[in-house]
A and B are shown apart, each in its own frame.
Chain A
Amino acid sequence: MHPDRFFTVEIDTNFHIRGWLNAGHDRLIKMGKLFRVHSLVLRIRKNYYDHQNVKKDNMDYFIQQLINGITLGGIYALIALGYTMVYGVIQLINFAHGEFFAAGGYVGVIFLSFFTGLGYMETYPVVCLTASFGLAMAYCAYLAIGVEKIAYKPLRKESRLAALLSALGMSIFLSNGLMLTQGVYDKAYPSELFQGGMHFGMVTVSYLQVLILVLTGVLLVALNFLVFKTKMGMAMRATAQDKTMSALVAISSNRIISLTFAIGAGLAAAAGIMVGLYYGSVRYDMGFIPGIKAFSAAVLGGIGNITGAMVGGLIIGMVEVFGAGYISGEYKDVFAFIILISVLYFKPTGIMGENIDDTRV
C-alpha cells in the first residue's frame, strides 16, 4: 500500500510538540486519535519507508505506482461522477458530496462490523460484503434525496451564490453530524478482510486493489448503461440540456434531479467503503480533500460530461500517486489543486467538455 494516506501520519510525526501546544479540546481529540490509530500509523509508516528504499528509477516501481494510481483514480472517478452529474442537471457545485462519500464509508463500516458481530462474516463473506455495499449505497442515496429537498430545491430559482452557500452549510452540517453520532476518532475497518495479494516480481497487486478495480469497473459500466441506453438515462440527459423543454414532454424535472442526486451519492458511498477498506479506517472529515480532488477531476474531464469525469478521475489519481512517488509525498495534495487551477485557466471546458456559456466561466 502506498503512503498517500488521507490522514494520520502527520499526527504521529509531530505529536509531542504539537499535541501540547494546541488549545484544550483540540488537543484531547488529537491525543485520543493518536492512541487509537497508533498501530495503523506505524503500519503505514513502515510501508512508507519500505517504499522510500525502493529505487525510483526502477521499472517495477513505476508499474507499482501505475497500479496504485489506477486504484486511486478509480475511486476519484466514482466521486467525480456525482459532482459532474449534479452540475450537469442543476448547475450547482454540491459541496456536500464529499460528505456523502464519508457517510458511505461510515455506514459501510457499521454494517461490516455488525455482520462480523453476528458471526456471518466468516461463513458468508461475499454476501456480507455485497450487502454492506448495497446498504451503504442505498443509505447515501436516501440521505442525498432528503438533502436536496431540504437545502437545494427551495433555492433553485434564487441566485447561484445562495445555493452555493447553502451547499457549503450543508457540508459543514453533515460532517459535524457524522462527528457527533460517530465520534471524533478514526473508525477502523475490520482488517482481516483481503489479506495478501498477487506478486509479479517486485510488483504487488493486493486482492483489495483487484476488488476495487473490478467493482469500480462494474459500477462505471452500469452507470454508462443507465445513462446512455435506458429511457431513464435519456430523460436525465434531456433534463440536463433543457429543463423547460423536457418538462413539456412530460419528464418530471424534480424526479430526475432526485434520481441524479441518488445515483451520485450511491457511487460516492461505494467509493467511501473502498477508501475505508484501502486505508483501514474512516474519519468524519475525510470527505473534504477527496471531494475537492474529485471536483478537480470533474472539471478536468469537462463538467457535466460523464465519460470526462471518469477519465479525469483516473488522471488525477495518477498525477497524485506519481507526484507523491517521484516528486514529493508531502505536497501530494497540491498537485490536484494545480491541475484544477491550470485547467480552469487554460481550458475551462475541460478535455472532453462542450462549449459552455459565460454564466459558468
Chain B
Amino acid sequence: MIQEFKKVWKNYTIGMLWLLGVLWPLLGIHPDGTITFQKTVSVWLYILAGTFVCLILYVINTSGNLKPVTTPVAGAARKIGSMIEVMPSWIWISALLICAFIYPLVTGRYATDVAITVLFYICLGLGLNVVVGLAGMLDLGYIAFYGVGAYTYALLNVNFGLGFWVCLPVSGFLACIAGCIVGYPTLRMRGDYLAIVTLGFGEIIRIILNNWMELTNGPNGILGVKTIGILMPFFENGMTLETLWVKKLQWFYYFVLGLAIVAIIAVRRLNYSRVGRAWESIREDETAAELMGVNTFNYKLLAYAMGAIFAGLAGAFFAARMKFVSPESFTFLESAMVLCMVVLGGMGSIPGIILGVVALIALPEAFREFESYRMLVFGATMIIMMLFRPAGLIPAKRVGKRSEDKE
C-alpha cells in the first residue's frame, strides 16, 4: 500500500499546488486593491480534504487491501445477476412495471414531477444512444430535435387547435425530417468534425426559434399549449364522446411512462436487429463495414432519423406537460446534459442509460441546496468517467465474439 501511495503522491501534490495557484487570482485579488488568502485557502482545504479521501480509497483499492470488502460485494452482485438470469425475465420486468405503475399513487406531487422529468430524459437519452452509442457518431445538437417536436405541437395546437394525438406523429415526422436535413450534409464527416457541425446546426435551430418572431413569438415563447386530451364515452343521456383533459400530474405520468416503455422496447429491438448490427459495425470500423456491404451512408442517416424521432415525440409530450415552450429550454447545455447521462450510464446500454438519467436528475433533486454546483458536477462526471471507466457504469453487452477477446 505504501508502494502504491509512493506512485501517486507526487502527482497529487503537484496537482493540488497547481489548483491553489489557479484559485488564488480568482478568489484572493480584490478590486479595492487588497490581497487576501483566507478564502482561497479555506476553499482549497475543502477540495484537498475531499480529494485526499478519494485518493486514499483509490490507493487502498489498487493495492488490493479493499478486497475483504469488494470481494463479497462483487460476489453478491454476481449472485443477484445470476439469479436474475435464472428467473424468467418476465418476472422482474413485470415487478419493475408494477413499481413504476404504483409509484405516483404512493408518492406526492413533487416526486411525481421529478419522475416525469426522469422519463423525459430517458426518452432523450435512448434516442441519443441510437446516434452516439450504437452508430458511434457524436451529436452535440441533439436537443434541437426535441425543440422541433415541442414547437411543432405547440404551434399546431395554438394556431390550428389540433389535438395532441394528431400532432404527435406530425412532431415525430418533422423531427425526423429535421434529422435528415441535418444529417445529409454532415454525414460525410467523421468524428470530431461531425460533433462540431451538429453543434452548429443545433445552435442555428435555436437561433431561428429565438428570432423568427412571426412564427415562434421569439424568446417570449408560446403560451397556452393544451395538454393531452382523450376522448371518453359518457353514458348519461345516450352515448356521447367528450374530451377529457389530462390535468392531473399522475395521469400525465402514465402517458410519459408509456412513451418511455415504447422507446425502451424500440431501441432494444433496433439494437438486436440487422440494422443494429450494421450500426455497430459502422461504430467499430466504418471502412470495414463498407467493405462488408453495409450501406454506411443510409444507415448513418437512419440512425440520425431514429434518434430525432424519439426526441420529437418526447418534445411533443414536453410541450403538453409544460403548456409553454421557449427557445431557452433547448440550449446547448441541455444537449451536453443528455450526453453526460448517456456517457455516465454506458453508451449503448439501456439499463445503463436509465441509471445515468436517474443519477443525474434524481440525485440533484435530493441535494437541492447544492443546486449551483450541478453543472460543475456534470462536467467533472464526464471527465472522471472518461478517465476511469469509459464504458460507463453498466457497460453495454457486446453481441458475439471478437477476435481480440479470444486472445
Contacts and interface: CB of A to CB of B under 8 A. Distances in A.
Given A111-B29, A348-B193, A176 B15 contact: no
Given A173-B383, A295-B196, A361 B33 contact: no
Given A18-B219, A21-B326, A110 B18 contact: no
Contact of A150 (B15, B32, B200, B210): B15
A279 interface: no
Contacts of B189: 344, 348, 361
Interface stretch (B20-28, B257-265, B305-313, B357-365): B20-28
A64 interface: no
A208 interface: no
Interface string B320-359: 0000101010001100100110010000000000000000
Interface in B1-60: 15, 18-19, 21-23, 25-27, 29-34
A169 interface: yes
A344 B197 contact: yes
A350 to B, nearest CB: 11
Given A18-B221, A340-B196, A341-B186, A113 B375 contact: no
Q: Indicate the member of B18, B191, B200 with the most A CB atoms within 10 Å.
A: B200
Interface residues of A, number: 75
Nearest to A328: B211
Contact of B22 (A143, A155, A162, A296): A143
Given A158-B390, A345-B188, A170 B383 contact: yes
B188 A360 contact: no
Contacts of B19: 146
Interface residues of B, number: 67
Interface string B222-235: 01000000000000
Most buried by A among B26, B30, B136: B26
B379 A114 contact: no
Contacts of A348: 189, 193
A163 B191 CA distance: 11
Contact of B379 (A172, A296, A338): A172
Interface stretch (B151-159, B201-209, B245-253, B394-402): B201-209
B192 interface: yes
A116 B210 CA distance: 39
A46 interface: no
Interface in B377-402: 378-383, 386-387, 390
Given A18-B326, A160-B192, A182-B26, A146 B15 contact: yes
A180 B373 CA distance: 8
A119 B372 CA distance: 35
A151 interface: yes
Contacts of A39: none
B30 A164 contact: no
A165 B376 CA distance: 15
A161 interface: yes
Interface in A139-171: 139, 142-143, 146, 149-151, 154-155, 158-166, 168-171
Nearest to B388: A154
A197 B106 CA distance: 69
Given A14-B218, A22-B328, A107 B211 contact: no
23 contacts: A14-B220, A18-B219, A21-B223, A21-B324, A21-B326, A93-B195, A111-B29, A114-B29, A117-B34, A119-B33, A142-B18, A142-B21, A158-B390, A159-B390, A160-B191, A165-B339, A165-B343, A169-B381, A173-B383, A337-B200, A337-B203, A340-B197, A344-B193
A333 B208 CA distance: 10
A142 B22 CA distance: 8
A341 B30 contact: no
Contacts of A337: 200-201, 203-204
Contacts of A217: none
A173 B376 contact: yes
Given A154-B387, A292-B199, A334-B208, 7 more contacts: A26-B328, A164-B191, A169-B378, A178-B26, A179-B372, A337-B200, A337-B204
A17 interface: yes
A134 interface: no
A292 B200 contact: yes
A349 to B, nearest CB: 11
Contacts of B223: 21
Nearest to B342: A165
B220 A17 contact: yes
A217 to B, nearest CB: 28
Interface string A326-351: 00001101100110110011001000
B195 A146 contact: no
A126 interface: no
A118 interface: yes
Contacts of B242: none
A114 B376 contact: no
Contacts of B383: 150-151, 166, 169-170, 173
Given A161-B136, A170-B379, A292 B191 contact: no
A155 B203 contact: no
A180 B39 CA distance: 13
Contact of A155 (B188, B199, B387): B387
A18 B220 contact: yes
A288 interface: yes
B269 interface: no
Contacts of B32: 117
Contact of B376 (A117, A177, A361): A177
3 closest residue pairs by CB, A with B:
A169-B382, A117-B33, A173-B379
A146 B22 contact: yes
B27 A162 contact: no
B67 interface: no
A192 to B, nearest CB: 14
Given A169-B386, A172-B382, A341 B197 contact: yes
Interface in A86-106: 92-93, 106
Contact of A172 (B343, B371, B375): B375
Contacts of A107: 25-26
A338 B203 CA distance: 11
Nearest to A184: B372
Contact of B207 (A21, A143, A334, A358): A334
A19 B161 CA distance: 27
B190 interface: yes
Nearest to B39: A181
Given A21-B326, A114-B31, A333-B207, A341 B220 contact: no
B332 A288 contact: yes
A161 B191 contact: yes
A90 B304 CA distance: 29
B131 interface: no
B138 interface: yes
